[in-house]
Structure 1
Amino acid sequence: MSDRDAAARDVVQKLARGSLLSRLTGSRKQPLRLIAVPRDHVHGDRRRGDALLAGKLLHGAETLPLADLDFAAIGTDGPVAGYLQGFAWLRDLAAAASRERGARLAEAIVGRWLIAHGTRVDDAWRPDLWGERILFWSAYAPYILSSTEAGYRSALLNTMARGARHLEANADKAPAGLRRVTAWSGAVAAALLVQGGVARVARAESGLGRALASAQSDDGGLISRAPYEQVDLVDRLGLLRSAYFAAKQSPPESFETAAAAALSALHGVILGDGGLSTWQGGNAGDPARLAAIVDGCGMRARPLRQPRGWGFHRLSALGTVAIIDAAPPPTPKAAPWGSASTLAFELSDGTQRLVINCGGPKPLPPQMPAELAAALRTTAAHSTLTLADTNSTAIQADGLLGKGVTDVVIDRSEDHDSSLLEASHDGYARGFGLLHRRVLKLGNDGKELRGTDELRASGRRKGKGAIPFAIRFHLAPGIEPTITADGMGAILRSPGAPPWNFRSRGTPIAVEESLSVDGLGIPHRTMQLVINGEAAPAGADVHWQFRRSS
């Protein structure tokens, strides 16, 4: 027996200690059954699956020991607890273990959950957790229902049915957005797959339709405007599509339309390295996981280039990709963690990121002080203009977004030579009497991105003297900037792309320290280019250019 097998056996024995199965036998009724088992086409993470077999649940940079696992003590708050309670880790277990081998561990953990939460409604019955749980329990039923113990099987299936009924009564109580969609997706899946649920399908589909209508903008993006949540939306809808097909049912046309739009919006915020563009306190994530979800969701869509409510415009040409935030921030209700990032952009050349935002820990456990995580939501942590060291949208003492950007005016055009985006926001109009206008022009050969940042009097109030501003271009890890002799430019060298030259017309640039948060939520030191200047009451213009050397 290998060391890994011995470790897995030891964990299972500890989890099953105390006559676990006998404590689950509480009903004399014949157990329910699943009429079909959906197939999850998304491949899990083998490394995390191996860790599960060795007795450790990995989530981001955090590790949760599984020996003596106590669901009640862990609770439901925080990323690790949510990951454990939602059972999405079953996907990773299946990537590392056969059904026979993985079932021993999976059933022991499910058994612990039933003991802690199965007999009463508590925080673990939160609608979004139940929705996610049903989606993964049904997809990985062979791993959690292999036991020959009738008491265990009956307890699990009856609890699953109770969870479905709980969702039908409580799914609309989940916050609008991803959580409510997840809750109703679980309700629909249970109605399709659990014996006797056919009569409840129409009601659950109606609830899901309402949830999607309130969660998505008309272009498919979530109202939270958070790319990392968009990944989970596509994943949830992909799992539900599999439930429909397993039950030999066709998804409603409205559902298919919403799911395809969600995928298109997600494609629109993926940079050349396959990771996410970093907005609303999120990071690039794991490109392999993102590719697995996109490839396995069962849908196909082109990247959304000209969004509406989603707000992230995409310029691309021959491997060069720029993604621009051209919309007001999300409302505090939709995204309590939203960022003041209007008119910021990110840029990649092939698989090499060049210009980035600092990012943040979402959705993983934070590996940084709370003060730093809060600072990463500011305008200065994004590649855009900051006026008088002030956020374009205020971040209040309670952490919620306050007054600031309410209107973003956009004009976009394409021709044979370039793609042009002009956008302006009013975030500084109230406090300084100025509008910020940014123009980005990407050549169709992908070799040049020209930019202009303008400050113009808004007419709402007169400015009082010169106002300092800073235009920041945060650089990806590994980018080495070298200032040119005249101080007006920089050569940007990287391990994954040809050198790029940056030039500022008539305004000196500086190199300062910055940081970037990686896909595990860990911050790393990097650099930024900064153009400092002062705006007169009438405004100011700054022109700049990125150009690839070959």
Structure 2
Amino acid sequence: MRIWNGAAGPLQVVAKGVFARGVLAKGLAPSAGRAVSRSGLRERTRLMALLAELWSQQVLARLGGRTMALGYVPVPVPERLLIAPQDLRTGDATLASEIYSGRFAFAGKVMLLDGRTPFELVPPSVEWAEALHGFGWLRHLKAAGTTIARANARSLVGDFMRDPGKARAVAARPDVAARRIISWLTQATFLLQDADHDFYRRFMRSLARQVRQLRRMANDAPDGQPRMLAVTALVFAGLCMSDQGRLLKAADKRLSEELDRQILPDGGPLTRNPGMLIELLLDLLPLRQAFTARNQPAPPALMNAVDRMMPMLRFFRHGDGAFAHFHGMGHTAADQLATILAFDDARGAPVANAPYSGYQRLDARALMVIADTGPPPPAMASWEAHASCLAFEFSSGRHRIVINCGVPEVHREMWRQVARSTAAHSTAVIADTSSCRFLQGGSMTRIFGAPIVSGPKHVDVQRGTRNNALLLRASHDGYAEPFGLIHQRSFRLAMEGNRLDGEDVFKAAEEGAKLPAETFAIRFHLHPSVTVERLDDPHTALLSLPNGEAWAFAAPHVPLGVEESVDLAAAGGPRRTAQLVLSGEVVRTPRVIWTFVRTREAQSVPPGRPPARG
């Protein structure tokens, strides 16, 4: 095993021609030969302590009474299904014809059956296999609503019941099995209508067998969304399948425990991934309705968790409806988010302070700043967390200006190391090294993934108002051990909604110590819709938005560079964009001041015509 410091490294994407110039070479690559940490012995000691903690948590999870109760509860083959839950995810009837013709397009890959079942194919990617074996595509066949689509759906389900095929290991994973169980239950009415007795009995036996397997593996799912999904699927099974009183009681208790642990008091998720809120609510809201349909009270933990999560949906939204890109958040599915928000009766203003989740939000008229002001999540829940402390996103009205790179919808493994690095976020990077270190390689990663081994432990946050402006100041010690530095960042957002002032300060971690002779790069990744124009002043750039609005970015006394970047979370796949970079040496420039000022209001731009340059 080894520890990875979060820099991009020599990625295969360069050979594949994906933004080889600038993005990796300038913005996200590590300096050659730099050590991960200057205190190797302490790093190894901490790593061994972390692994011991991870092992102990795994053992305790298996030996604990709650897991034993769920893992051994009987699951008889049901005589019938009592209810079919609602599926809040949108089905597309046009995709049903593609499936019927033998064209299976998932996760950016297309496979043709050519007379075979889809399960006989060698999957082109793990993501493709996850989508296939999760059976979420049944909703498209249901949306078609035809007799042919129903027969096709039954045939494909029957193919899986006979033989899961080449990707049986993926199909058996707890998170994939949970998604498949939920998909079968939500589409049961569609599948079983006019079905013969033989298919009906095989379907019930297969469903019971999968639930038995899942209840034993629920705690093997990675912490966070996968484990929550597994427990949620078991509660669905207990509610929908007849003769499952003991399963429902045990799964209900386990779900309450996970919700109390994973949904923090301010409504944010333990993993700190905003996208987890959307995925969870798409399942928890129908689960809440399923309890009502069975004339049973929903567990208080479920009701309370939903009530806490709803306001956080608005917390992470920019003016264009997209979520901020933090800790694994990718492209925002607008239709799914709109469906969830329709269940929000309060429809109040978003909270500004989310201290348990580790985020802060500043709003001034149409301007918005969302900042990551928290340490990494606990080790067991950090397998997809990013080194993004003090990163921020900035938007004006319906237009995002400063973003983080985010993660793509497909090919996530190819971009994972780049996306998790500090350089992929709009914050300061010291010596091309991330503020977190990640476990990488070896047998441990097959068990635990790539959790964060070390990073910021103390993040101090202060906010207030002064002189008609919103103020936010935060600092983190993620660079204290490798470089003896504390990074402090301050924001001042004018309440008139026309200016954002920022300051980055590098201080010695120990009082009286000298600042190290290390380089820094303060990065501001721009949304692809933003056009950058360099001015004669080497410290200033003009930013133009699609609506004609213009902003000037200035950083006195610090060289300003404009380099290539990439928006990984863009709809349709990664898109080229630009980043503003302020660079220097910590010992020479320990304090950097920068400003965004609006220089031109939005204009009425005729369709198809670019805004005029100012």
CA distance 1:30–1:79, change in 2 (3 Å): closer
Moved more, 125-134 or 344-353: 125-134
Q: Residue in 1 aligned with 2:431?
A: 388
CA deviation after TM superposition for structure 1 residue 280, in Å: 2.6
1:167-178 pair list within 5 angstroms: 167-178=214-225
Moved more, 315-324 or 396-405: 396-405
Contact 2:77 2:205 survives alignment (8 Å): no
Give the whole-Å Cα distance in 2 for the aligned partners of 1:229 and 1:320. Answer: 25
**Structure 1 unaligned residues grouped into runs of 5+:** 1-28
Q: Residue in 1 aligned with 2:585?
A: 534
CA deviation after TM superposition for structure 1 residue 204, in Å: 1.5
**Structure 2 unaligned residues grouped into runs of 5+:** 1-75, 442-449, 602-614
Give the whole-Å Cα distance in 2 for the aligned partners of 1:187 and 1:485. Answer: 63
Is residue 104 of structure 1 aligned with residue 151 of structure 2?
yes
Give the whole-Å Cα distance in 2 for the aligned partners of 1:301 and 1:159. Answer: 45
Is residue 341 of structure 1 aligned with residue 426 of structure 2?
no
Moved more, 158-167 or 267-276: 158-167
Is residue 283 of structure 1 aligned with residue 330 of structure 2?
yes
Count of residue correspondences: 514
Q: Residue in 2 aligned with 1:56?
A: 103
Question: Structure 2 residue aligned with 1:500, among 531, 551, 563?
Answer: 551
1:506 alignment partner, SS class: coil
Give the whole-Å Cα distance in 2 for the aligned partners of 1:298 and 1:188. Answer: 25
2:380 alignment partner, SS class: coil
Give the whole-Å Cα distance in 2 for the aligned partners of 1:503 and 1:191. Answer: 59
Question: Structure 1 residue aligned with 2:595, among 517, 520, 545?
Answer: 545
1:137-286 pair list within 5 angstroms: 137-286=184-333
Q: Residue in 2 aligned with 1:128?
A: 175
Give the whole-Å Cα distance in 1 for the aligned partners of 2:134 and 2:341. Answer: 20
Give the TM-score normalised by the residue count of structure 2: 0.76
Q: Residue in 2 aligned with 1:454?
A: 505
CA deviation after TM superposition for structure 1 residue 482, in Å: 1.3
Question: Structure 1 residue aligned with 2:518, among 467, 490, 495?
Answer: 467
| 1:91-150, Cα deviation, whole Å (9 max, x unpaired) | 33334x1153431222122111111249xx976343333332232222221221124311
CA deviation after TM superposition for structure 1 residue 58, in Å: 3.2
CA distance 1:228–1:41, change in 2 (3 Å): closer
| 1:187-230, Cα deviation, whole Å (9 max, x unpaired) | 11111121122343222210111222333333232222222333
Q: Residue in 1 aligned with 2:488?
A: 437
1:286-301 pair list within 5 angstroms: 286-295=333-342
Question: Structure 2 residue aligned with 1:365, among 390, 403, 410?
Answer: 410
Give the whole-Å Cα distance in 1 for the aligned partners of 2:178 and 2:310. Answer: 20
Amino acid at match of 2:134: G
Bigger relative contact order, structure 1 or 2 (CA pairs below 8 A, ≥6 apart): 2
Give the whole-Å Cα distance in 2 for the aligned partners of 1:91 and 1:486. Answer: 56
CA deviation after TM superposition for structure 1 residue 344, in Å: 0.6
Amino acid at match of 2:389: T
Amino acid at match of 2:574: P
Give the TM-score normalised by the residue count of structure 1: 0.85
1:456 alignment partner, SS class: strand
CA distance 1:454–1:92, change in 2 (3 Å): farther
CA distance 1:514–1:292, change in 2 (3 Å): same
2:395 alignment partner, SS class: strand
CA deviation after TM superposition for structure 1 residue 314, in Å: 1.9
- Counting aligned pairs with the same residue, the percent is 32
| 1:515-545, Cα deviation, whole Å (9 max, x unpaired) | 11144573222111111222228x7211111
Contact 2:90 2:335 survives alignment (8 Å): no
| 1:405-447, Cα deviation, whole Å (9 max, x unpaired) | 1111111225793332211000111222221111112223332
RMSD: 3.0
Q: Residue in 1 aligned with 2:576?
A: 525
Amino acid at match of 2:430: L
1:322 alignment partner, SS class: strand
Moved more, 74-83 or 136-145: 74-83
| 1:333-362, Cα deviation, whole Å (9 max, x unpaired) | 31323221110111122222211112222x
CA deviation after TM superposition for structure 1 residue 177, in Å: 1.7
CA distance 1:152–1:461, change in 2 (3 Å): farther
Moved more, 231-240 or 164-173: 164-173
Contact 2:107 2:127 survives alignment (8 Å): no
| 1:454-488, Cα deviation, whole Å (9 max, x unpaired) | 11122168336543211111111121111222222
| 1:129-184, Cα deviation, whole Å (9 max, x unpaired) | 33322322222212211243110011112222333344444423323221221111
1:57-96 pair list within 5 angstroms: 57-65=104-112, 68-71=116-119, 78-95=126-143
Moved more, 102-111 or 390-399: 390-399
Amino acid at match of 2:555: S
Give the whole-Å Cα distance in 1 for the aligned partners of 2:246 and 2:307. Answer: 27
Q: Residue in 1 aligned with 2:6?
A: none
Amino acid at match of 1:510: G
Contact 1:437 1:455 survives alignment (8 Å): yes
CA distance 1:55–1:34, change in 2 (3 Å): same
Contact 2:484 2:515 survives alignment (8 Å): no
CA distance 1:87–1:312, change in 2 (3 Å): farther
CA distance 1:134–1:400, change in 2 (3 Å): closer
